[in-house]
């Protein structure tokens, strides 16, 4: 199943604070766009609501417990629909938030993780830990802060062992 999870976390595993990203890392956003462009992106409702607009060039799918939910630019989906598309061989990217990552980590084949070299005070959403018995670090690249980055960062690609 080509189910990919993608997130950026601080050195303590924090991925969010007060419903938003706790940093602005232009280099990480460019990587996110390059990896997800042309693929469906699946997110929770709160992640959808944190976006300024639908992500262009990608089908925006929202997992929510609210059966009547709808919003312009997104399609409500179900976990069964996500699984069926993944099992059919379609590459899908799970983009947040914390509950959705935890829900689908056991079914993912690849995790794209950016470690932002800082620790966020008050982080209230965390990434699920990657168990070394299940996941293998396939590649890693540390990048010094570029124009538009607040911090250095390390791009990691993990594959299911």
Domain of residue 45: give its range. 3-160
Element (H, E) at 138: strand 135-143
* Contact present, 4 and 96 (Cβ < 8 Å): no
What rounded mean pLDDT belongs to the chain? 96
Confidence of residue 161 (pLDDT cuts 50, 70, 90): very high
Mean local confidence (pLDDT), 37-50 = 96
- Per-residue model confidence (pLDDT) at position 3: 97
Q: Report which of 35, 37, 28 is spatially closest to residue 58, judged by C-alpha positions.
A: 37
∠ Cα 41 46 48 (to 5°)? 35
pTM to 2 decimals?
A: 0.96
CB atoms within 10 A of CB 40: 19
d(CA 6, CA 107): 14
Give me the helices (H) in 43-151, please.
45-50, 79-87, 98-104
CATH classification at residue 120: 3.40.430.10
Number of structural domains the chain divides into? 1
């Amino acid at each position: 199943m080509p189910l990919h999870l993608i997130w950026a976390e601080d050195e303590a595993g924090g991925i969010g604070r007060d419903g938003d990203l706790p940093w602005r890392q232009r280099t990480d956003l460019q990587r996110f766009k390059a990896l997800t462009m042309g693929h469906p992106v699946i997110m929770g409702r709160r992640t959808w609501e944190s976006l300024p607009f639908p992500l262009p060039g990608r089908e925006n799918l929202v997992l929510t417990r609210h059966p009547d939910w709808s919003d312009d630019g997104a399609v409500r989906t179900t976990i069964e629909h996500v699984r069926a598309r993944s099992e059919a061989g379609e590459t899908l990217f799970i983009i947040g938030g914390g509950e959705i990552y935890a829900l689908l980590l056991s079914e993912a084949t690849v995790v794209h993780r950016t470690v932002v070299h800082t620790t966020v005070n008050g982080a209230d959403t965390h990434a699920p830990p990657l168990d070394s018995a299940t996941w293998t670090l396939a590649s890693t690249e540390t990048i010094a802060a570029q124009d538009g980055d607040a911090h250095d960062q390390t791009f990691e690609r993990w594959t299911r062992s």
